[in-house]
């Protein structure tokens, strides 16, 4: 195949049974389970193990996985000291990518995990996956304190994954209702077929790189505003609009100027992203729980959705997962530049599932190109060049 397809759009890069999308019907499923069902009935811990192992776990297996996650929340003190040396003005995703790569220095057994050309030590893969998922959440929460000049808050083993994150982030006893909303957000962001960051993970994984380097590559790719950084841009856009009454004029001006409307459109969906539907519903529930004592962002977002959908819906452009996730996180008191990090600490479950799958069918990625340069040129000595 010599045809160039920009962005590899529609070009299959691998075979996978991890997740499925039907963009015309608005369907997303993990291992055959609809995202709506998992959001309603599952937990992030159960969903992560489902992604990693392929089936809903029996109670003993889930309990063991949950306990392993709790016991792996603490990070080496040298990681904490490295974080202290970083610029407090840097983006949290740059910290996260750096620290993820640094973990390989403290867990150097990665070189021996591959058995043969197409196999792996499954115990090593599982244990490393648990450590990475648990450590990533800890590091995201630690950074919020360290960059503000404070000592990080120690993790607790008596809390769920979502509860512990909120505890470490705020230092306050987590509200169980808010923690459940956070838990659902983690489920919604955990996996989404072969997106840009997952493809980066596959490419790095195919070289048999350290799993910490593999996940660092995913974090780097996710950090861009066209991927995981979009929900941060959404909140900035909503603040710029200011009030719901200004939404219509703002959207009209953006479209006339051919500028992007953040949080709208998706390569896979021609209908409203099913995750956006759930997140909007969660925001309604959050507002009701807070007796509607919330800021203006949600009302502005709904006005923007109507104005943009009226103009773009016929083209199959609707809100994606980033549109309401940023609003919800902002109302939960999380600062906008941490939004992509929350995305990463969710998506890491999917990345690790794809890494494990890649190891079982591994062949190094080596795509070709369409060469557009000159075929042969005469070398001109330096003194004769003008």
pLDDT of residue 109: 72
CA 58 to CA 71: how far, in whole Å?
20
Q: Is-contact 231 263, C-beta < 8 A?
A: yes
Homologous superfamily in CATH for domain 12-224+339-360: Citrate Synthase, domain 1 (1.10.580.10)
For the chain, what are the domain ranges?
A: 12-224+339-360, 230-331
pLDDT at 11: 87
Sheet holding 27-30, edge to edge: 19-22, 27-30, 33-34
CA angle 221, 183, 159 (to 5 degrees): 115
pLDDT at 1 over 60: no
| pLDDT tens-place string over residues 162-206 | 999 999 999 999 999 999 999 999 999 999 999 999 999 999 999
Average per-residue pLDDT in the chain? 93
CATH topology match: 12-224+339-360 vs 230-331: no
Fold classification of 230-331 (topology level) = Cytochrome p450-Terp; domain 2 (1.10.230)
Average pLDDT of the segment spanning 240-247: 96
CA distance 366 to 276: 35
Other Cβ atoms closer than 10 A to 122: 14
| 266 catalytic per annotation | yes
Task: Specify the pLDDT at position 111.
Answer: 56
Catalytic member of 189, 266, 273, 354:
266
Query: Is 151 noted as a catalytic residue in this protein?
Result: no
Residue listed under structure tokens 């063991």: 64
**Residue 223 and residue 94 in contact, taking contact as beta carbons nearer than 8 Å:** yes
Q: Given pLDDT bands bounded at 50, 70 and 90, which one contains residue 239?
A: very high
Using the structure block, give the residue that is written with the tokens 């999308």.
21
The pLDDT value given to residue 118? 44
Catalytic entry in 66, 183, 273, 322: 322
């Amino acid at each position: 195949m010599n045809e160039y397809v920009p962005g590899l759009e529609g070009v299959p890069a691998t075979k996978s049974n991890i997740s499925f999308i039907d963009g015309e019907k608005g369907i997303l499923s993990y291992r055959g389970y609809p995202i709506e069902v998992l959001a309603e009935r599952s937990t992030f811990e159960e969903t992560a193990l489902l992604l990693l192992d392929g089936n809903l776990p029996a109670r003993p297996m889930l309990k063991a996985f949950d306990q392993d996650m709790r016991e792996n929340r603490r990070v080496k003190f040298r990681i904490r000291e490295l974080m202290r040396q970083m610029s407090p003005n840097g983006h949290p995703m740059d910290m996260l990518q750096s620290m993820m790569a640094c973990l390989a220095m403290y867990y150097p057994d990665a070189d021996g995990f591959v058995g043969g050309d197409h196999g792996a030590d499954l115990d090593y893969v599982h244990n490393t996956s648990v450590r990475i998922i648990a450590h990533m959440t800890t590091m995201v929460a630690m950074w919020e304190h360290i960059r503000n000049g404070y000592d990080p808050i120690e993790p607790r083993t008596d809390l769920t994954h979502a509860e512990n994150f909120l505890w470490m982030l705020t230092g306050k006893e987590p509200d169980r209702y808010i923690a459940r909303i956070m838990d659902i957000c983690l489920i919604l962001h955990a996996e989404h077929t072969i997106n840009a960051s997952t493809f980066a993970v596959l490419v790095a994984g195919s070289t048999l790189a350290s799993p910490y380097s593999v996940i660092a590559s995913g974090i780097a790719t996710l950090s861009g505003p066209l991927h995981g950084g979009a929900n941060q841009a959404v909140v900035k856009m909503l603040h710029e609009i200011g009030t719901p009454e200004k939404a219509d004029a703002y959207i009209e001006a953006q479209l006339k100027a051919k500028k992007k409307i953040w949080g709208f459109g998706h390569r896979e969906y021609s209908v409203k992203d099913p995750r956006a539907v759930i997140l909007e519903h969660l925001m309604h529930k959050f507002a009701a729980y807070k007796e509607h004592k919330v800021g203006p962002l949600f009302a502005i977002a709904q006005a923007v959705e109507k104005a943009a959908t009226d103009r773009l819906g016929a083209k199959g452009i609707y809100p994606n997962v980033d549109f309401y996730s940023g609003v919800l996180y902002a109302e939960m008191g999380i600062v906008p530049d941490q939004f992509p990090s929350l995305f990463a600490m969710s998506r890491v479950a999917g990345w690790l599932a794809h890494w494990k799958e890649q190891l079982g069918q591994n062949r190094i990625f080596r795509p070709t190109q369409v060469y557009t340069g000159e075929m042969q040129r005469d070398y001109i000595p330096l003194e004769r060049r003008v």
